[in-house]
Structure 1
Amino acid sequence: MATKTAELEAILYAAGDEGVKQADLCQLLSITPSALRELTNGLKNKLAEDLNCGIRLIEVNNLFKLVTDPACSEVISQYFQKDSSKNLSQSALEILAIVAYEQPITRVEIDDIRGVNSSGAIQTLVWRGLVKVDGKKDVPGHPNLYVTTDYFLQYFNYSSLSDLPLIENFTDVYEDNEQLDLFNEKDNQNQEIE
């Protein structure tokens, strides 16, 4: 008979990139949330301590999933050979910030904020899995509503949207022409993760 740790690992492996919600794991493993916390912390530590293991356990918005170790990002990038390893353009970062802080938001609303057409950059963000369509706005034409994804949180090393820097902490004018980078605020490394 498998241990709860082995069962947890098997469930997360089978779930793949979708991950599994905390409540579902508790139900599947027939354990309490505190027991699950102890179990996930144990598995997280076990994976992190094994230098021969290229897998890590992360939690994003009460969703647990197995991901590749950031130390293996170069070989993973070579495996997938996508341009997703390239940096986002300035316009894509602007749009990502707008979506992150104003979601759900339509493309037209994004265009109004930026003053230029954003459709191409939005499609790039959707393709890269950082933004997704989450319903339609109840107005004539029923435009798509865009929101950030769990992968957005994972990519920028946030656990939830509440970890984003507060807008009130920024001013409209930056001294010495410094450029504001909302997504490096936590000193993250923007690694490519599976």
Structure 2
Amino acid sequence: MDSEKVAIIESLIFASKGIQKEKILEIAQVSEKDFDDIVKILEQKYNLNNESGIELRNIDGFFKFFTKKKYAIYIEKIIKRRSLNTLTTSQLEIVILLASKKKATKRQIDEIRGKDSTNILKQLLMSGVVKRRKSGRSYIYSLTDTFKEETFIEELLDELGGVHFDTERSQNDIEKDNGKQ
């Protein structure tokens, strides 16, 4: 493999806060096969190397370098980390729901919680925990990237085995709620 291509892709991933494969292919002008081969090289260089403190991850189609979990206690000393303890129980319910489902409408959140979430969602929006985007006649809520990075909420849920909500609604219901079907 051309070491220049490896270095280009490595630098793109390093400089970004998460970059999609398609964007890398476009910028670096490499084929998908070359990209996949380079990712394997980078994973071997970082993920499988005990002498490296960082690893390459693909999260929801975004490639990004992260500190390995075993070094998190050192990183916490220099990086401001938001604590989940600052959230109320109701806020934490919504955060965990969004961390596990990735996105949900207010209606879905209310159905799962069994009560209105308007004021709590406003608080979470104002504090930078949650973001929303308009889709049809409603909003789709998700956690902000900053909050996810500061709390490691997704990694924490993965370590705990994930979360499952008993609901009959599917991901397709988001589109139905917004008139896309």
TM-score of Structure 1 vs Structure 2, range by shorter chain? 0.5 to 0.7
How big is each residue's C-alpha offset from its partner over 1:128-161, in whole Å with a ceiling of 9 and x where there is no partner? Answer: 75x42122662xxxx7531245675974249xxx
Residue aligning to 2:54 = 55
The residue type equivalent to 1:58 in the other structure is R
Task: Give the Cα separation in 2 of the matches to 1:102 and 1:62.
Answer: 13
Q: Shift of residue 73 of structure 1?
A: 0.9
The residue type equivalent to 1:105 in the other structure is T
Query: Do 1:55 and 1:68's aligned partners in 2 also have CA atoms closer than 8 Å?
Result: yes
Q: Secondary structure of 1:57's partner?
A: strand
Query: Do 1:77 and 1:85's aligned partners in 2 also have CA atoms closer than 8 Å?
Result: no
The residue type equivalent to 1:11 in the other structure is L
The residue type equivalent to 1:147 in the other structure is S
1:16-95 correspondence runs (5 A) = 17=17, 19-84=18-83, 86=85, 90-95=89-94
Task: Give the Cα separation in 2 of the matches to 1:102 and 1:155.
Answer: 12
* Larger CA deviation: 85-94 vs 28-37: 85-94
In structure 2, the CA distance between the partners of 1:135 and 1:114, relative to structure 1 (3 Å rule), is same
Q: Secondary structure of 1:39's partner?
A: helix
Q: Shift of residue 44 of structure 1?
A: 1.2
Name which structure has the greater RCO, CA cutoff 8 Å, separation 6+. Answer: 1
The residue type equivalent to 1:7 in the other structure is I
How many residue pairs are counted as aligned between the two chains? 157
The residue type equivalent to 2:154 in the other structure is F
How big is each residue's C-alpha offset from its partner over 1:92-129, in whole Å with a ceiling of 9 and x where there is no partner? Answer: 342135445494313x7645644255634764588575
Residue aligning to 1:13 = 14
Q: Shift of residue 39 of structure 1?
A: 0.8
In structure 2, the CA distance between the partners of 1:40 and 1:105, relative to structure 1 (3 Å rule), is same
The residue type equivalent to 2:104 in the other structure is P
Percent identity (aligned): 19
In structure 2, the CA distance between the partners of 1:72 and 1:78, relative to structure 1 (3 Å rule), is same
Structure 2 residue runs of 5 or longer lacking an equivalent are 157-161, 168-181
In structure 2, the CA distance between the partners of 1:4 and 1:87, relative to structure 1 (3 Å rule), is farther
The alignment's C-alpha RMSD in Å is 3.9
Task: Give the Cα separation in 1 of the matches to 2:128 and 2:77.
Answer: 16
Task: Give the Cα separation in 2 of the matches to 1:128 and 1:66.
Answer: 23
Q: Shift of residue 87 of structure 1?
A: 8.4
